[in-house]
Amino acid sequence: MLASNITTKYFKTDFASGLVVFLVALPLCLGIALASGAPLFSGIIAGIVGGIVVGFLSHSNVSVSGPAAGLSAIVLASISTLGSFETFLMAVVLAGILQLLLGIAKAGSISNYFPNNVIEGMLVGIGIIIFLKQIPHALGYDKETEGAMSFEDEKTHTTTFENLMNSFDYIQWGAVIITLISLAILLVWDKVPALKKIKLLPGALVAVLSGVITNEIFIQTGSPLAIDATHLVSLPVLNNISEISTLITLPDFSKAFTLPVWVTALTITAVASIETLLCIEAGDRLDKFKRYTSTNTELIAQGVGNTLSGLIGGLPMTSVVVRTSANITSGARTKLSTIIHGVLLLLCVLAIPAILNKIPLATLAAILLLIGYKLANPKHFKHFYSQGLYQFLPFIATVVAVVGIDLLKGVGIGMLISVFFVLKGNLKRAYFLKKETYKSGDIIHFNLAQEVSFLNKAAIKLTLGHFPPNSTVVINATDSEYIAHDVLDIIREFREIGGPEKGIKVELVGFKDKYNIQNTIDANHPSIWVESGKKAELVK
């Protein structure tokens, strides 16, 4: 069964969190569609399908799916390369089918290999991006589209920092006032117990309503503080229900078997699947109830969602960190909140788009500023710094790369650094040395670890080559469950050639029969071995 049971036990908290996610998702869906060079409504379609369909099929209690900023550059380039949006939609349909097959093949298990410090670094990096990207919107400078997450804007080619600095030259004081009012409401709402108990009236909704009302007052009084339409949410407005068909675009099925379409489909599949798995891991870490999500089921759910989204004119989607973190911080308990956000998107864009178009981007920026701060809380830096260099370096490298390059490259850099430290640590822990000095000469105990792989070959070879002449070396494999053939060859060569050339007497003990290497000491012979603490050692 794909979908777990949906419960209404926590309806109040789930409805409140679904409402907040809806408010956050609305401008993001539009902004990502705009940044992707796609029809505006295609972002809304992806948000609706991601909320209702993927929300229903997914086993995640907190993850929210929708159009992803990480895919916007791919979408923009693909539409241009393929020649039409209809042809691109065919690639989205194929990508969904491929994702579905990946889930059935249980490819989701790859997420188990993402280190926690890299996942946390990704979350902090995204938090910093959200915070930096929303400051211009909070000041009334909306040159960069809402939902952009890359360091350099694809259209204007300005960087995040350039856009941030430019915003201080174009401050719109009406937007600043609305931002400050919204922030005050959001902060107070969580502090005052009486207000916090009103579950169906979350602080985010009150902040949005206050933003709309404040701007309407500015407009009605003819104040220069009034915010014009360029700084408000911008939804397509339907004059009647029959116009829905004009907003839905069907894929061009005649291009289903062309090479460029398949190349695009494979690209979307790879990027969307990795981003989804990363977000699922991140969401599970943020979830205060620490519930586990089946990543294979998630890939199946995403595959169905992307297939349907492509069939009705929507953008490709992934599980998205921004919406997921908004869902969690708003108190979501079950996946009903995700479905509610999708239903609200559907109902509101069809029924009340004119009202939604009165929402200032500044008030939405206030909500996202707090989400960004919570994700990038300085306590995360302190925590990983206290864990030591091996934990901190991959974490901080991921943060810097996610902010300065993009999400996937940032995670890739963090993973490479983590693997480097794993290999370095593995090299150090391949063996344990103990030297004992006697009148007759030194005895060096060379105890191999439980797992000795080919990665340890260089370190072992170097160590054996540095043993002093005329000593006795006891190579002990008693605790080893696995020794690579490369390492066994080095030990044989050292025993037969390298050791004798330097006058070193080489003793072997504990090597299993499967290694085809002859032990020179019987570990069980009482005249040679006695038990001393945890290890068996030669009698002095």
**Proportion of the chain above pLDDT 70, given as a percent:** 90
**Average pLDDT, stretch 290-310?**
93
Residue 117 has pLDDT above 70, yes or no: yes
- pLDDT band, very low/low/confident/very high, at 384 (cuts 50, 70, 90): confident
pLDDT of 290 higher than 50:
yes
Please answer whether residues 369 and 138 qualify as being in contact, where contact means their C-beta atoms are separated by less than 8 angstroms. yes
What is the rounded distance in angstroms from the CA atom of residue 211 to the CA atom of residue 177? Answer: 9
Query: Residue written as tokens 């675009």?
Result: 249
Q: Is the pLDDT of residue 413 over 70?
A: yes
Cα–Cα distance between 325 and 104 in angstroms, integer?
27
Read off the tokens for 401: 């790369």
Report pTM: 0.74
CA 184 to chain centre: 30
Q: In the structure encoding, which two tokens stand for residue 150, read together? A: 């890359």
DSSP category for residue 316: P
pLDDT at position 532: 36
What six digits make up the tokens of 119?
Answer: 């996942």
In this predicted structure, what is the pLDDT of residue 518?
86
So what's the pLDDT on residue 214?
94
Cβ partners under 8 Å of residue 285, min gap 6: 116, 119, 120, 123
Distance CA 461, CA 467 (A): 11
- For residue 105, is pLDDT > 80? yes
Q: Where are the beta strands (DSSP E) in 32-117?
A: 65-67
Under the banding of pLDDT at 50, 70 and 90, the label for residue 530 is very low
Between residues 347 and 423, the one the model is more confident about: 347
Residues in the chain: 540
Could you tell me the two tokens for 402?
């996610």
pLDDT at 111 over 80: no
Residue with tokens 């991959």: 394
Domains assigned to the chain: 11-378 (no CATH), 430-538 (3.30.750.24)
Confidence of residue 371 (pLDDT cuts 50, 70, 90): confident
Are the beta carbons of 12 and 310 closer than 8 angstroms?
no
Mean pLDDT, residues 10-25 = 90
Region 336-365: mean pLDDT is 89
> Which residues are CB-neighbours of 28 under 8 A, at least 6 positions away?
43, 47, 66, 67, 69, 146, 147, 320, 322, 323
Cβ neighbours for 480, distance < 8 A, ≥ 6 positions apart: 448, 449, 450, 451, 452, 510, 512
Residue 275 and residue 318 in contact, taking contact as beta carbons nearer than 8 Å? yes
Other CB atoms within a 10 A radius of the CB of residue 246 amount to 10
Q: In whole angstroms, what is the distance from residue 328 CA to residue 337 CA? A: 10
Percent of the chain with pLDDT over 90: 35
What's the DSSP call for residue 360? B
Q: What's the order of all strands across the beta sheet hosting 505-509?
A: 431-438, 441-448, 472-476, 505-509
DSSP letter at 230 equals: G
Whether the Cβ atoms of residue 267 and residue 71 lie closer than 8 Å to each other: no
Contact predicate 60/319, CB 8 Å: yes
Closest CA to 69 of 100, 117, 29: 29
Kindly provide the residue ranges of all beta strands, DSSP E only, lying in 203-344, ordered along the sequence.
Answer: 317-319
Q: How confident is the model at residue 178 (pLDDT cuts 50, 70, 90)?
A: very high
Q: By CB neighbour count within 10 A (0-12 exposed, 13-18 middle, 19+ buried), where does 338 fall?
A: buried
| Distance (Å, whole) CA 146 – CA 228 | 16
pLDDT at 531 (0 to 100): 34
pLDDT at residue number 536 = 39
SS3 content of the chain, % helix, strand, coil (to 5): 60, 10, 30
Q: What are the backbone angles phi and psi of residue 522, rounded to the nearest 5°?
A: -85, 115
Spatial distance between the Cα atoms of 423 and 416, rounded to a whole number of angstroms: 10
33-62 pLDDT, tens digit per residue, is: 877 888 888 999 999 999 999 999 998 999
Tell me, what amino acid is at 178? I
* 433 backbone φψ class: left, alpha, beta (φ>0; ψ -120 to 50): beta
Residue 403 to residue 18: CA distance in whole angstroms: 28
Check residue 191 and give its pLDDT.
78
pLDDT score of 310: 96
Q: Which of 52-56, 188-192, 384-388, 448-452 has the lowest mean pLDDT?
A: 188-192
Would you state the structure tokens that stand for residue 485, as one six-digit string?
């053939």
Cα separation values, 530 from 244, 443, 522, Å = 85, 16, 11
pLDDT at 537 over 50: no
Task: Give CA 498 to chain center in angstroms.
Answer: 50
pLDDT, averaged across the chain: 85
Sign of CA dihedral 291, 296, 301, 306: positive
Q: State residue 146's pLDDT score.
A: 66
Q: What is the pLDDT of residue 540?
A: 37
191-202: average pLDDT: 68
Q: What is the mean pLDDT of residues 51-77?
A: 90
Residue 528 has what pLDDT? 42
Q: With a cut of 50, say whether residue 3 has pLDDT above it.
A: no
